[in-house]
């Protein structure tokens, strides 16, 4: 074999060796790629792990700081009882004792009443001395009483419903509900007298004993007003008042004499047998009581707010 043939065979062998090496490297590369193929789940896990590791490296690189103080929970603002009472009186002021209260106003009043009931008052026990005295009604939602108070809104009716009071006498265990009725130049009152027993620290059990129509009294002052508003116009009554001054003074004297005579007459007893049979024994739950205000509840969820006047 000559030199040329040997060189040719050597070149062929080198070419085949390179080809075999290239195939084996390609196969090896394909095997590596197949082994490193990642599924979407693997990609998500890898990304999550990368984020965790990145965050950990950032924390490690941060300078150590002083330990944080424990978070202080802000305490709820304490609302005083006096603030709740003031807000309640402000809402009640324009409702004419509940006769013209709108539904949203009643809801706000009920919320404030609930807050006062939770507070309970310093003298929530009905056996305490604070219960005794005369209480004037400021607000109620009892349908019968609201209907009675609604008479004040009838323009042509000469009757006006005056103060509604409740007089409690612990010494005699009696309770008197009184409604003042006002007519032109005349006023009277209708009351019911009940006996009660203390059923629990907050509950009074009472029974109606009698009803009374009190002796009417005549208004002694017959002086005309200085002005009168009629159909949006203000009328000056000063000249007429001066002209009628002698007549009004004489009428005042007669009214005072008649009032004295009527005052000597006893109150008229009103029979309440039918009312007693219908009502039977009633109850009253005192849910708030202090020296100035009292809140009670009755049948059907009725609420009464009283202010002590005597």
Ordered by start, the domain boundaries in the chain are 81-214+267-308, 222-227+239-264
At 282, is the pLDDT very low, low, confident or very high (cuts 50, 70, 90)? confident
Q: What is the pLDDT of residue 286?
A: 93
| Beta partners for residue 136, in sequence order | 165, 307
At 194, is the pLDDT very low, low, confident or very high (cuts 50, 70, 90)? very high
Q: What is the CATH number of domain 81-214+267-308?
A: 2.40.128.280
pLDDT surpassing 60 at residue 70: no
pLDDT surpassing 60 at residue 303: yes
Nearest of 250, 245, 249, 184 to residue 219 by alpha carbon: 184
Report residue 73 CA to chain centroid gap.
27
pLDDT surpassing 70 at residue 3: no
Half-sphere exposure of 115 (CA within 13 A, CB side): 16
At 142, is the pLDDT very low, low, confident or very high (cuts 50, 70, 90)? very high
Question: Comparing 214 with 118, which gets the higher pLDDT?
Answer: 118
Say how far apart CA 205 and CA 207 lie, in whole Å: 7
Q: What is the pLDDT of residue 28?
A: 47
pLDDT tens-digit readout, 18-50: 655 555 544 444 544 444 444 444 444 444 444
Question: Comparing 133 with 157, which gets the higher pLDDT?
Answer: 133
Q: What is the pLDDT of residue 301?
A: 85
Q: Return the SS3 of 159.
A: coil
At 128, is the pLDDT very low, low, confident or very high (cuts 50, 70, 90)? confident
Task: Dig out the tokens for 98 from the structure.
Answer: 């509940």
Task: Dig out the tokens for 297 from the structure.
Answer: 């509840």
């Amino acid at each position: 074999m000559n030199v040329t043939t040997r060189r040719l065979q050597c070149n062929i062998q080198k070419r085949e060796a390179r080809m075999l090496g290239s195939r084996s490297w390609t196969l090896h590369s394909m095997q590596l790629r197949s082994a490193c193929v990642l599924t979407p789940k693997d990609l998500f896990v890898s990304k999550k792990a990368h984020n965790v590791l990145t965050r950990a490296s950032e924390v490690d690189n941060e300078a150590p700081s002083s330990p944080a103080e424990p978070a202080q929970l802000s305490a709820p603002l304490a609302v005083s009882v006096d603030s709740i009472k003031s807000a309640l009186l402000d809402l009640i002021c324009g409702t004419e004792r509940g006769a013209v209260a709108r539904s949203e106003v009643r809801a706000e009043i009920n919320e404030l009443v609930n807050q006062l009931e939770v507070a309970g008052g310093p003298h929530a026990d009905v056996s305490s001395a604070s219960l005794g005295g005369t209480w004037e009604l400021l607000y109620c939602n009892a349908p019968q009483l609201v209907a009675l108070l609604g008479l004040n809104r009838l323009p042509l009716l000469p009757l006006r419903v005056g103060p509604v009071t409740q007089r409690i006498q612990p010494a005699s265990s009696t309770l008197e509900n009184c409604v003042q009725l006002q007519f032109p130049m005349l006023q009277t009152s209708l009351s019911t007298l009940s006996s009660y027993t203390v059923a629990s620290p907050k509950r009074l059990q009472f029974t109606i004993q009698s009803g009374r129509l009190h002796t009417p009294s005549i208004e002694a002052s017959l002086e005309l007003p200085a002005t009168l508003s009629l159909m949006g116009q203000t009328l000056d009554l000063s000249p007429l008042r001066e002209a009628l001054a002698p007549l009004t003074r004489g009428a005042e004297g007669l009214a005072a004499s008649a009032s004295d005579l009527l005052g000597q007459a006893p109150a008229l007893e009103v029979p309440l047998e039918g009312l007693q049979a219908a009502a039977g024994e009633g109850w009253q739950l005192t849910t708030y009581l202090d020296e100035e205000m009292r809140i009670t509840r009755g049948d059907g969820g009725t609420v009464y707010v009283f202010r002590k006047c005597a």
